[in-house]
A and B are shown apart, each in its own frame.
Chain A
């Protein structure tokens, strides 16, 4: 606690506004340094020094107003970490589920899902459809999630590092799954992810997760969110340059 009454009054005033302790402490440290400089300057008296700093209430009010002008995520780093560091996992899983359901059901409804007609189109076409389906169910959600987090970062005006964090997480998560579609009969005791909709006569179709990013498909899944983050940051930079030009 400060020994100087002026500093104590500022701190007491700030205490009424529940500001983060780190913000208050840094502010108080800088004010104490400033007060010390004023005292040392040309042998200023204590009264002179304090009058130059301003009224404690006014100085504290300026600190509160400046803090409240920050965006919610800018004021709460923990909330920013939750939003940009944790929620991408949940968002991506949720979006994958929504896109799978949408692609399967939207064309003709639950009674006649997408794969129901595959038994009529032949094995190679079925494999191509399965492959495309599995690709879209990963790529579309990762694109949507990346755009969502870029938009959120743009709206809240927070540091670009948060966009990089969320898009990197999305990129790694999106690159993990790959897909296998083979024309072979499904053994009776096997499990296939899409078995309820997948005609048994066609063969296997399943997703799998891998720790290696060796195939081009996974590389693409990795690069898409990073490309969106890059596009977002480039656009922000161009907007700044356009402001300059105008």
Chain B
């Protein structure tokens, strides 16, 4: 799913298109991280459910940075130079609005799958 989301085009709805961005902003809002750390954090926070080419994370990070949602700086971590990413105030706002939208969508789909008021099959046995 994550791999597919990474490759979806802009014409897709936001709830599909914004999944990688949502995850990255959410994890980076907890603490600044570099790319490899982020991948580990995604695996840990999703119990390894999401499978994706780890190299695909960098283009998303770069785009978020170009859009002003992340900032980056080279820092030395454990003796190695790393590009550390941080969420900006714009990124925090985007995260809040995307999280709300995502929760509404999840709730709506869950309701539809469970068969809500208007979700009962027309030809029930």
Whether the pair A31, B58 counts as a contact (CB closer than 8 A) is yes
**Interface size bracket, A side:** 20 to 34
Closest-CB distance, B16 to chain A (whole angstroms) = 15
- Interface class of chain B by DSSP: helix
Listed by A's residue number, 17 A-B pairs whose Cβ atoms lie within 8 Å are A10-B55, A23-B62, A27-B58, A30-B35, A30-B83, A34-B39, A34-B58, A38-B36, A55-B53, A59-B55, A62-B7, A65-B9, A70-B66, A240-B93, A243-B93, A243-B97, A244-B97
Interface centre among B34, B60, B62, B80 (most CB of A within 10 A): B62
Q: State in angstroms the CA–CA spacing of A38 and B67 once bound together.
A: 29
B56 close to A (CB within 8 Å) = yes
Closest-CB distance, A243 to chain B (whole angstroms) = 5
Per-residue interface assignment for chain A, residues 220 to 246, with 1 indicating a CB less than 8 Å from any chain B CB and 0 otherwise: 000000000000000000001101101
Give the total of B residues in contact with A, Cβ under 8 Å: 28
A63 close to B (CB within 8 Å) = yes
Q: Which of B57-86 contact A (CB under 8 A)?
A: 58-60, 62-63, 66-68, 80, 82-83
Per-residue interface assignment for chain B, residues 33 to 53, with 1 indicating a CB less than 8 Å from any chain A CB and 0 otherwise: 011100100000000000011
Residue numbers in B under 8 Å from A246 (CB-CB): 97
Q: State in angstroms the CA–CA spacing of A30 and B60 once bound together.
A: 13
Contact of A66 among B36, B59, B82, B96 (CB under 8 A): B59
Q: State in angstroms the CA–CA spacing of A179 and B78 once bound together.
A: 64
B14 close to A (CB within 8 Å) = no
Whether the pair A62, B82 counts as a contact (CB closer than 8 A) is no
Q: State in angstroms the CA–CA spacing of A27 and B60 once bound together.
A: 11
Q: State in angstroms the CA–CA spacing of A70 and B90 once bound together.
A: 17
Q: State in angstroms the CA–CA spacing of A58 and B56 once bound together.
A: 8
Interface centre among B53, B55, B60 (most CB of A within 10 A): B55
Q: State in angstroms the CA–CA spacing of A38 and B54 once bound together.
A: 10
Whether the pair B59, A27 counts as a contact (CB closer than 8 A) is yes
Residue numbers in B under 8 Å from A10 (CB-CB): 55
Per-residue interface assignment for chain B, residues 1 to 25, with 1 indicating a CB less than 8 Å from any chain A CB and 0 otherwise: 0000011011000000000000000
A61 close to B (CB within 8 Å) = yes
Residue numbers in B under 8 Å from A53 (CB-CB): 53-55
Whether the pair B59, A62 counts as a contact (CB closer than 8 A) is yes
A67 close to B (CB within 8 Å) = yes
Residue numbers in A under 8 Å from B53 (CB-CB): 52-55, 58-59, 62
Whether the pair B7, A65 counts as a contact (CB closer than 8 A) is yes
A108 close to B (CB within 8 Å) = no
Residue numbers in B under 8 Å from A243 (CB-CB): 93, 97
Residue numbers in B under 8 Å from A67 (CB-CB): 59, 62-63
Whether the pair B93, A66 counts as a contact (CB closer than 8 A) is no
Whether the pair A62, B6 counts as a contact (CB closer than 8 A) is yes
A210 close to B (CB within 8 Å) = no
Q: State in angstroms the CA–CA spacing of A52 and B97 once bound together.
A: 31
Closest-CB distance, A105 to chain B (whole angstroms) = 45
Whether the pair B6, A27 counts as a contact (CB closer than 8 A) is no
Whether the pair B59, A65 counts as a contact (CB closer than 8 A) is yes
Closest-CB distance, A67 to chain B (whole angstroms) = 7
Per-residue interface assignment for chain A, residues 85 to 101, with 1 indicating a CB less than 8 Å from any chain B CB and 0 otherwise: 00000000000000000
Per-residue interface assignment for chain A, residues 156 to 193, with 1 indicating a CB less than 8 Å from any chain B CB and 0 otherwise: 01010000000000000000000000000000000000
